[in-house]
Structure 1
Amino acid sequence: MNMLSFLGETPTIALRLAQEKCGEEAIVVSTKKISNAKESGKDMYEVVVAIEEEGKNFNHTKSINIAQKDTLISNPKPIQTNVYDFREEILKMQAALEQVQKSLWNPKSQLYDLNIPPEFISIYNLFEQNEFDPEMTYTIMKKTIRQLPVSLKSNPKKVNDFFKLILRRVIPIKHELPLRKHQRKIIMMIGPTGVGKTTTISKLAARYAYKLGQNYKVGIVTLDSFRVGAIEQLQAYTNIMRLPLEIVKKPEELSEALLRLKDCHYIFIDTAGSSQYDVDKIELINDYQKKVEELPIEKILVMPANVKQSDLLDIYKNYSRLGVDFLTFTKLDETKSFGNLISFAHKTKKSITYFSIGQNVPDDLIVSDSTFLIDCFMNNSCVRR
């Protein structure tokens, strides 16, 4: 890229000279007045143009005679035109601007006082792509910028490992523990329609009955008599796994059903799904609970991973009236964003028990593990093991 300077008593004259010398492909960079008639006897303007030269050499100094008939310039003098190659400088400026643009905080977050260092840009982009809560992103970034030793900032792997460590600290996890002797556990799965409660129960029943090597006796109770095919689906699974199934249609029948399963180590209760905004149906589940309130029942809220955090919060808000103890996330194979799960679990302080990563029973079930969720986060996809 060459820069050429042309002078004339008017901008039009100077521009005409530039076009005659350089052609129509010249790009005008600047036009300015460099002298006036009061000081030097005549006005004088400078036009600077840029031109890409291919196969044509310019000398670093070039004389241009502007004493032409139409220039109206008396006593013409050769004018020295300095030619500079600004290609490298322009490319450097473009690269610097791109870096600055990437490091500026996204205005949508309304957090303007934080500039992301170049070393953290790739991680910051991961937080954005994973729809991580903006306030949590801000806090994590600010803390990391302040705490990460300077010696580690130049090492991308060390930077990634540091962020993984921070994420591991904010993800609440409930680890799977074996039952104590003579202990039994009743687990009620609650949540909206279509999140996969019945399929998740089938996976868990198969896991505890056959995959842990503990010879656990497992029973299933269903309260879902509303959804077409719900009972038939569970009956098909329990027949294959040779597990007892109790069908309960009224709240007062639940205690008798649980009594019939008293020899089971694990009892899973499947509930009818409903919209998180259908308070009446949610309260109906509460009616069942009240009939057996003397029994310790663990409530696990089952939620889909492929919805935004505001929807997760709405689900939690309305189902929390049932007393949510833990979380299970389904449909991890149907999303590429996992920041909403981490943010939501951290905000609600409810530990995650399991992840469902597909429809296959019992294989598509992952025991809660922060490393698994962080790997999904870092790769923008469900990482199957």
Structure 2
Amino acid sequence: MKMKKYIADTMVEAMNKVRADFGDDAVILSSNVVTSKGFLGFFKKKSVEVVAGFDEPVQMQVEPAFVQATDLREPKQEAEIRKEMIEMKRLLQEMKQSASFGNFPDELKPLLTFLEGQELSKELIFQIGNEIFAHMKEKKKDFSNEEQLQIAKTLLMKEFSGLPFGGISFTKKYINVLGPTGVGKTTTIAKIAARALLEEKKKIGFITTDTYRIAAIEQLRTYANLLQAPVEIAYNSKDFEKSIEKMKDLDLIFIDTAGRNYKEMKFVDDLKHLIDFSLDMESFLVLSVTSKEEDMRTIVEKFTSLPIERFIFTKVDETGSIGPMFNLMKQYGIGAAYYTDGQEVPEDLAEADLEKMLKMLLAGAEHA
């Protein structure tokens, strides 16, 4: 086995050096954090010392067929080696992840690790870490958990303050709600409509373009009956125009679109041909926080050609990590209108407020 010692500022840097010499099949034999003396006892410099090794491939001799058939020890040995190498790769990946914050003081790591658990983007986490560390260097002292949280909250407030937050404006007549199947679109529409009727005393109506699922139409009818509001079904653009004409005397018209697999662009194009987006309309994209962030990002990408005003995030109560909400808002420059945390209509609906959402994100960090 070839062995080599590496010294680097961070574990990530050390791993990159290991990979450059030995590739992904390297074996980490040991790793240590070496601390050098700092100025007046503060800001001690930490380095990572890693010893890595690599087994050179053994040239296997081809045995005669009758020997291969009777001697089964070699294939078994190969399987064990392969299993060990897979385990080593897994451990290497875990070490890489745990060393993500190697450049930051130990006092900062609990908060940064907590935010990582909330699935906040690495970009935002490192912004927070650098901001707190800058304050520590300026004041030449460690910061308490409470002080760290306040700096993190201030930074995030500044980062997202330019985005729009809050529910429907009541200045536009048509409320168009878009989103993939399974995100709770119809229930969310009912919650918003009930608030508009009961709290704002608006005359409301519904148009559904979800003609693919009978259950969806019946669900909307049930909510509409409870709210004593009319419902129209639009199978095509002409039906949509007729529905608009029938409801011209209402204050607000809520449009429930079909829940489809919007990873396929053709379904988004269908919406463009069915709905007149030039109307006096607000459009919202509904996303379930329980979905993978990559899948949510794919959906958003498909809808970038439509005038999306704000996001509506659903099923917040069904996940322990809400960082992806902030990641999507940051990446696409789109704020939030509402988030839902249950099935009750209209109770389990909260109008998006940045300060409250940050409080949710950081809840529990004081105990990290």
TM (norm. structure 1) is 0.65
What residue in structure 1 maps to residue 139 of structure 2? 150
Identity between Structure 1 and Structure 2 (%): 28
Deviation at 1:254, TM superposition (A): 1.0
Deviation at 1:355, TM superposition (A): 0.2
1:160 partnered with 2:120: no
What residue in structure 2 maps to residue 175 of structure 1? 166
Q: What is the aligned counterpart of 1:120 among 78, 94, 108?
A: 108
Give the counterpart letter for 1:141 in structure 2. Answer: G
Provide the C-alpha distance between the structure 2 equivalents of 1:111 and 1:152, rounded to a whole number of angstroms: 23
What residue in structure 2 maps to residue 9 of structure 1? none
Provide the C-alpha distance between the structure 2 equivalents of 1:365 and 1:275, rounded to a whole number of angstroms: 25
Q: Secondary structure at the match of 2:304?
A: helix
Specify whether residues 318 and 147 from structure 1 end up closer, same or farther in structure 2 by C-alpha distance, changes over 3 A only.
same
Gaps of 5+ in 1: 1-98
Q: Secondary structure at the match of 1:325?
A: strand
Q: Secondary structure at the match of 1:321?
A: coil
Provide the C-alpha distance between the structure 2 equivalents of 1:237 and 1:100, rounded to a whole number of angstroms: 62
Provide, for residues 91-121 of structure 1, a one-character-per-residue CA deviation record: whole Å limited to 9, x for no partner: xxxxxxxx999xxx97349967x62223322
Provide, for residues 310-351 of structure 1, a one-character-per-residue CA deviation record: whole Å limited to 9, x for no partner: 222111011223332211000101100111111111111001
Q: What is the aligned counterpart of 1:139 among 106, 109, 127?
A: 127
Q: What is the aligned counterpart of 1:274 among 260, 269, 274?
A: 260
Pairwise CA RMSD of aligned residues?
A: 2.6
Q: What is the aligned counterpart of 2:173 among 178, 181, 185?
A: 185
Pairing 1:1-385 to 2, within 5 Å after superposition:
107-108=96-97, 115-147=103-135, 149-150=138-139, 153-171=142-160, 172-176=163-167, 179=170, 183-210=171-198, 212=199, 214-289=200-275, 292-379=276-363
Give the counterpart letter for 2:294 in structure 1. Answer: S
Query: Of the two structures, which has the highest relative contact order with CA contacts closer than 8 Å and spacing of 6 or more?
Result: 2
TM (norm. structure 2) is 0.68
Specify whether residues 125 and 284 from structure 1 end up closer, same or farther in structure 2 by C-alpha distance, changes over 3 A only.
same
Gaps of 5+ in 2: 1-45, 49-93
Provide, for residues 190-246 of structure 1, a one-character-per-residue CA deviation record: whole Å limited to 9, x for no partner: 111011110000000001100x2x311111110001023111001001101111211
Provide the C-alpha distance between the structure 2 equivalents of 1:110 and 1:282, rounded to a whole number of angstroms: 42
Q: Secondary structure at the match of 2:334?
A: coil
Provide the C-alpha distance between the structure 2 equivalents of 1:192 and 1:166, rounded to a whole number of angstroms: 32
Specify whether residues 106 and 191 from structure 1 end up closer, same or farther in structure 2 by C-alpha distance, changes over 3 A only.
farther
Deviation at 1:368, TM superposition (A): 0.3
Q: How many residues align?
A: 272
Would you say the 8 A contact 2:166–2:338 is kept in 1? no
Provide the C-alpha distance between the structure 2 equivalents of 1:193 and 1:110, rounded to a whole number of angstroms: 38
Would you say the 8 A contact 1:173–1:370 is kept in 2? no
Specify whether residues 146 and 222 from structure 1 end up closer, same or farther in structure 2 by C-alpha distance, changes over 3 A only.
same
Q: Secondary structure at the match of 1:347?
A: helix
